[in-house]
Amino acid sequence: MIYKKVNKIKEEISAIGIGCWNFGGDWDNVTDQSVRQIVCSAIEEGINFFDVAPVYGFHHAETILGKVLKQEGLRNKIFLASKCGLRWGDDRVTRNDLSRNSILEEIDASLTRLQTDHIDLYQLHWPDHTTSIKETAETLKEVQKAGKIRYVGLSNFSQRDVEEFESFMEIHAQQGLYNMLERNTSQYHNIPLEYKTEQEVFPHVRREGQAFLPYSPLCQGLLTGSFHRLGNFSKNDIRNQNPKFSADSNNDIYFKIVEDLKAFSGRLGKPLYEVAINWLRQKDEITSIIAGVKSPEELKKNLKSLTWTLDQGLLDEIEKIIAPVCLL
């Protein structure tokens, strides 16, 4: 396993982490039993970074992850990241809430579900423009002082807001959307994004010594090269909400680039997903790639991307292929 280190975090973190969104049951082909197998296999392979959130499966992802870690005695072998700030009611429609009362409620509930006394990296999932940054930051410092969290991260925040947070407290990590097809994109599903990853986030994390944790490294599966323009998921799969996969989407440019990347990968004798993960892993700004998998076998395939390197000539070829979506 390759590990990476940043100035703001004491521990070394595995270059590939486990994204736990699919542990919640919102994606096809992941059961509680497969979660157990994935977690145990990942730790056995040297992966120590796990990223989860209360909203994944509406508490189920945290619950099953906590159960597995407790039953298998694995909690002290991982760097555990979770989040707060997305709340919902009986209708399961989410709202952003980073108020003091909400954070204090969420952290205790997450600790209970995860069956642990602390979370290593506690991240604000999305901005809440109805609550002052000062109130949120002061609450996080209170939770940190109580020993319930160790490091603080911001997910999907504008760099202007990141800088305001930094005026009140230390920020150790940022998380954002980033992959070959979504480098400075303006939205995730139908949610507007307030940041450009390469243009704005990368310079900031370099300057501040923060971890950067990209989610959706394979563009929710598109960069596996196995998708069709339509009909990739069952009706219950949450990825149906991604406009890039809808019948109304002008998605031809993405599929055209994927076809060109598949041809490039074929010339290398490597599968596209290995190339996509390798491309991310070689970027200095990226600490751990948040990669969801549906089985230990898929995990082992992803890990093969750590066994070889793209040289500068190959990286230049990739840049020519993906340049048309650099700002989309």
Q: According to the 3-state scheme, what is the secondary structure of 226-286? A: CCCCCCCCCCCCHHHHCHHHCCCCCCHHHHHHHHHHHHHHHHHCCCHHHHHHHHHHCCCCC
Q: Where residue 220 falls among pLDDT bands split at 50, 70, 90? A: confident
Tokens of 172: 């150790």
- Predicted local confidence at residue 254, as pLDDT: 86
Q: Which of 296, 292, 135, 287 is nearest to 223 (CA)?
A: 292
- CB-based contact 21:27 (threshold 8 Å): yes
Cβ neighbours of residue 246 closer than 8 Å, sequence gap 6 or more? 240
Q: Where residue 246 falls among pLDDT bands split at 50, 70, 90? A: low
The predicted-structure confidence for 66-115, as pLDDT tens digits, reads as follows 999 999 999 999 999 999 999 999 899 999 999 999 999 999 999 999 99
- Predicted local confidence at residue 62, as pLDDT: 98
pLDDT at 158 over 70: yes
- Predicted local confidence at residue 253, as pLDDT: 86
- Predicted local confidence at residue 190, as pLDDT: 82
Q: What is the mean pLDDT of residues 119-132?
A: 98
CA 184 and chain centroid, separation: 16
Determine the Cα–Cα distance for residues 2 and 286; give it in Å rounded to an integer. 12
The predicted-structure confidence for 164-191, as pLDDT tens digits, reads as follows 999 999 999 999 999 999 999 988 888 8
Q: What is the mean pLDDT of residues 131-153?
A: 98
Residue the block writes with tokens 């082992």? 300
Alpha helices in the chain (DSSP H): 32-44, 60-72, 100-114, 133-145, 159-166, 202-208, 252-268, 272-281, 296-303, 312-322
Q: What is the mean pLDDT of residues 30-52?
A: 96
pLDDT at 232 over 60: no
Q: Where residue 50 falls among pLDDT bands split at 50, 70, 90? A: very high
CA 182 and chain centroid, separation: 13
Determine the Cα–Cα distance for residues 326 and 254; give it in Å rounded to an integer. 11
- CB-based contact 31:292 (threshold 8 Å): no
pLDDT at 251 over 80: no
Round the average pLDDT of the chain to a whole number and report it. 93
pLDDT at 250 over 80: no
Q: Where residue 231 falls among pLDDT bands split at 50, 70, 90? A: low
pLDDT at 228 over 70: no
pLDDT at 273 over 80: yes
Q: What is the mean pLDDT of residues 126-133?
A: 98
Model pTM? 0.92
Domains of the chain: 8-325 (3.20.20.100)
